Structure 1
Amino acid sequence: MHWPFCAAKCPYCDFNSHVHRGPFDEDAYIESYLTEINQTAQLVPDRTVRSIFFGGGTPSLMQPQSVEKIINAISTKWQLSNDVEITLEANPTSVEADKFQAIRLAGVNRVSLGVQSLRTEPLAALGRLHSVDDAIKAVELAQSIFDRVSYDLIYARPNQTLDEWRQELTQALNLARDHISLYALTIESGTRYYDLFRAGKLKMPDGELSAQFYELTQEICESFGLPAYEISNHAMPGEESRHNLTYWQYGEYAGIGPGAHGRLLIDGKRHATSTERMPFKWDEYVSKKGDGFVEFDALTAGEQGDEYLLMGLRLKTGISPIRFEALAGQKLKQQQVDHLTEIGFVQILEDGNLRVTDKGWPVLDAVVADLAA
């Protein structure tokens, strides 16, 4: 469930998020979500929903009754599993934190908080609207209300030192409970940070320092009992994000809302779907034809194999070569596997899965490209 609106656009963010000013009829807008849910359910009926993820944008800006309407609509079109995971992304401002109890009553049982830093100056540089105190209070409040809580931090920031990150991450892990997401800052085209970087006004860590940041992150998280299960996500065993595992394990999921992506199995074929990115244009599409799809394509075997590599190799558990062959219609190229094994970037696990090693994770994109070549 993609909610595209934010209170402000962060300078590093290339997500499909928009700042809307002026009157807004949220109730009418939510009706388009309900319509698109209904249309999608007709394409893929008789499914069990194991997770719902409200992402953004900033879905905590929604009214709790809007969240409840969407959850109720999903439950009427598909069956929810008994242990369904329902996550909502939230920013830790006091205004949004005030909604936590109502959001829990609406059916959300897990929140993911966009903290991003526990230091004042980096928060301002990252364009965040909350303070460090707001963040700590929001995490503690969320932990008292929701079954499961995660939050995000960004590291390898401009001018950040390893010692500064060690101290900040240690504080963060003392505050965390069972899951945390840690993202190395990347410069994405189309963002304010990209313009500053191109102009030489933003100094980023070089490759060697970036690798040291990554290694330090793994070391500290493992010492706290939250090892990485995916390249940027850490959890106690059993507390992994079930929703994100669906992506990384190349499962089936529906994308609802502006700019949402999906992978749907229809008549035995995997289809890639995406919806119109602009919020009010998406709304017009839904009003006219029942959905906002701008892409609805059956994927070739080769495309499925490449996607499985791209997603699955992010996981500590790796990919199944047998499943790759079933999806791609061909085996992994043994020559590439042997070469990457020899230089220590991949390994074969006891269950037969192929995984990227800790040494290979910092150059994951290159490993995937080599295997997909």
Structure 2
Amino acid sequence: MPAKLNLKNHPLSLYVHWPFCVAKCPYCDFNSHMAGKIETAAWRNALLTELGFRARQAAEALSVDYSNIELKSLFFGGGTPSLMPPQITADIIDCAAGLFKIADDIEITAEMNPTSVETEKLNAFAHAGINRVSVGVQSLDEAGLKFLGREHDTKEALSAITAAKRIFPSVSADLIYGLPEQTPANWTKQLNKLLSFELGHMSCYQLTIETGTIFHTRARQGDVLTADDDAVAHLYMVTEEVLNGAGLNSYEVSNYAKPGQASTHNLNYWKAGDWLAIGPGAHGRLTTANGRLHMANRKSPDGWLSDINVNGHSCETQIIETKYQSFEEYWMMGLRLCEGRPLTPPPAFGGGNFFLHRDWLNIFIQEGWLEINNNSVRTTLQGRLRLNTILPRLLDAPENELKA
């Protein structure tokens, strides 16, 4: 039998994509689809089939028996995974436990929308094995919820958080800022309301206009759908001040946590870890002896289901990234982290072959946007506001052009 993988240096996570929603939010560019009639038995069987395929694929790619692979986190995303029948959730968790070693402190997260119907299912999800929920509040302002096309109201959001806090050991909540004419006072009020629930984790995302969304169509027609850049920057600074002041420390551009409550699963993404992914449109990564393996499934729910029934998987993309692609991903994800990343990436991510642009690195340090400590580089608060400016310049080192 192959030697056991050293997972202290090689964390493995599992992502499960449930693509169905009650309605499509106008800002959302995720692979989500209006839920019609769903053949739950067929979806259950397909997800379990693909999970078995991915476990075998990981064992082959990592040269280790998959029963020796330790799973550190499992994340049900979407779509709206809280629309998934809890029994399917339980079956996926049980299947994963039969395939892999389960870490004693495994984090098992499900995203949920705070409608009254879904809140009633929380006990069933806890019984299934979920130990962390991320509640998609998005706004605690009725006008904001209507603007964002959400199906719940403020009362339902607060009730959902109350119920989740009672049932789960770990609860996170999401908010969106940067809505048109949103004021710092309004935003501060929303933040403080969520803080009153003593959550261990919060995510605050800037509203952005993504290609292919309803908001994108409206923006092209001339509608103003976001606050201006200066207002957004001010709201971000308010977020940092209010949440950090309440003991939720910023650990990533959009994420805040009390000590020990940062998201294990998302940290694995940002730290260039490995993860398997099942479900329509799901993407995974594995670091193999030959390079970084990028896997992506077919996005269409019907097409994905058909592929599983015929082939046992739905791999639309399965390629080894170039070292430069892995180098780019390492920094694009890693500089989102407040702790930063080692200046020389591991060899699998182009370390020793590719470099950050030295001149721009020095300029950004002088501007106070980047810092280097103990041979690691990190963004400052001002730098996190300017990542879209910083990243393309850092990655455009002239010595990389001949190697990419």
TM-score, length basis structure 2: 0.89
In structure 2, list runs of 5 or more residues that go unmatched.
1-15, 60-65, 397-404
C-alpha separation between the residues in 2 aligned to 1:311 and 1:113?
A: 23
Partner of 2:384: 361
Verify the 8 A CA contact 2:369 2:383 in the aligned structure 1: yes
1:267 to partner: Cα distance: 3.8
Residue 190 (structure 2) aligned to one of 161, 168, 181: 168
C-alpha separation between the residues in 2 aligned to 1:101 and 1:268?
A: 44
Partner of 1:183: 205
Residue 10 (structure 1) aligned to one of 25, 32, 48: 25
Query: Is residue 327 of structure 1 aligned with residue 341 of structure 2?
Result: no
Partner of 1:336: 360
Partner of 1:249: 271
Whichever residue aligns with residue 56 of structure 2, its letter is: Q
1:237 to partner: Cα distance: 1.4
1:203 to partner: Cα distance: 4.3
Verify the 8 A CA contact 2:287 2:348 in the aligned structure 1: no
Verify the 8 A CA contact 2:200 2:257 in the aligned structure 1: yes
Identical pairs, percent: 39
Whichever residue aligns with residue 3 of structure 1, its letter is: W
1:252-298 per-residue CA deviation (whole Å, 9 max, x = no partner) reads: 00111001000013345210111000111001111111111101000
Runs of 4+ in 1 over 3 A off after TM superposition: none
C-alpha separation between the residues in 2 aligned to 1:243 and 1:151?
A: 15
Residues 16-55 of structure 1 correspond to what in structure 2 (within 5 A)? 16-21=31-36, 23-45=37-59, 46=66, 47-55=69-77
Moved more, 255-264 or 157-166: 157-166
Verify the 8 A CA contact 1:154 1:183 in the aligned structure 2: yes
Change (3 A) 1:236 1:171: same
Moved more, 153-162 or 199-208: 199-208
C-alpha separation between the residues in 2 aligned to 1:124 and 1:80?
A: 41
TM-score, length basis structure 1: 0.97
- RMSD across aligned positions (CA): 1.3
1:131-180 per-residue CA deviation (whole Å, 9 max, x = no partner) reads: 11111010011011001000100111112111111112111222241100
1:322 to partner: Cα distance: 2.4
C-alpha separation between the residues in 1 aligned to 2:347 and 2:380?
A: 22
Whichever residue aligns with residue 371 of structure 2, its letter is: Q
Partner of 1:156: 178
C-alpha separation between the residues in 2 aligned to 1:13 and 1:297?
A: 27
The SS at the match of 2:296 is: strand
Residue 77 (structure 1) aligned to one of 88, 95, 99: 99
User: RCO greater where, 1 or 2, for CA within 8 Å and sep 6 or more?
Assistant: 2
1:95-126 per-residue CA deviation (whole Å, 9 max, x = no partner) reads: 00000001001000000010101111111111
The SS at the match of 1:255 is: strand
Whichever residue aligns with residue 261 of structure 2, its letter is: E
